[in-house]
Amino acid sequence: MGDLIMPAAPTNQSGARTRTSELVALLRQQILSAQLKPGERLRFDELRQQMDAGMSPLREALTRLASDGLVTLEEHKGYRVAPVSRDDLLDIAQTRSDIEALLVKRSIAHGNDAWEGRILAALHELGKKNKLDTNGEIDPLWEDLHQNFHSILVSMCPSSRLLQFRQILADQAVRYRRLSVKYLHEPRDDMAEHRAIADAVIARRADDAIELLRAHYMRTVEILLEEGAELFE
């Protein structure tokens, strides 16, 4: 008779993964909302106390956020919130525009009536919500609706990798969008920009949609470079 194979002892890996995911979501929200400031040092002891977290899930959460470009790891210095910079701002906007050009073309090629309906519904919901709250900050619900609208525009692209890369860049752009509203001295008609993009996509005018998206993203860049230059000094 061969050796008996004993069942493996139960582990708590599932619980650890769940806790890590919770920490990733919480830290992501604090970074994107600027509760954790660009360049701020992330001290393990402070984070463990604030979040009642163990060392292993916290370290794994920070590693995941580093892979998404929201956190940086400096040798012998530990983790920091990723800083903002002129080069980073331009790189995000330009790379995002290039990737979404592919996504838009493929989504238009695979799009159907139901997809068009989702675009219009997302645009309608976005238009019902004010962008800014009473403190002049971007309203979190508006941000969710905004992200949803842009995600649906490209959702018919069959490439999961392109969609994943796009989401990483979209998350990184949130901080710059939140900063841009502080420097906006003239009203920006966001809904007109979104409506024009939606119309071009639904009409299958891929080239127009791509140019409108690029202009939409670069408008945020222009606001920050023209009015918020002190951020990058």
Q: What is the pLDDT of residue 95?
A: 97
Q: What is the pLDDT of residue 35?
A: 84
Q: What is the pLDDT of residue 211?
A: 98
Q: What is the pLDDT of residue 207?
A: 98
> Of the candidates 68, 67, 57, which has an alpha carbon nearest to the alpha carbon of residue 20?
57
Q: What is the pLDDT of residue 14?
A: 60
Domains and CATH numbers, the chain: 14-81 (1.10.10.10), 86-232 (1.20.120.530)
Q: What number of CA atoms fall less than 13 Å from residue 97's CA on the CB side? A: 21
Could you give the percent of the chain with pLDDT greater than 90?
Answer: 64
Q: Which long-range contacts (CB under 8 A, 24 or more apart) does 113-117 make?
A: 115/152, 115/155, 115/156, 116/202
Our CA angle for 223, 224, 230, nearest 5°, is: 135
Mean pLDDT by 10 residues, the chain (233 residues): 44 68 90 86 90 89 90 87 93 96 98 98 97 90 96 98 95 90 86 98 98 96 88 78
| Residue 230 CB burial class (10 angstroms; 0-12, 13-18, ≥19) | exposed
Q: What is the pLDDT of residue 15?
A: 62
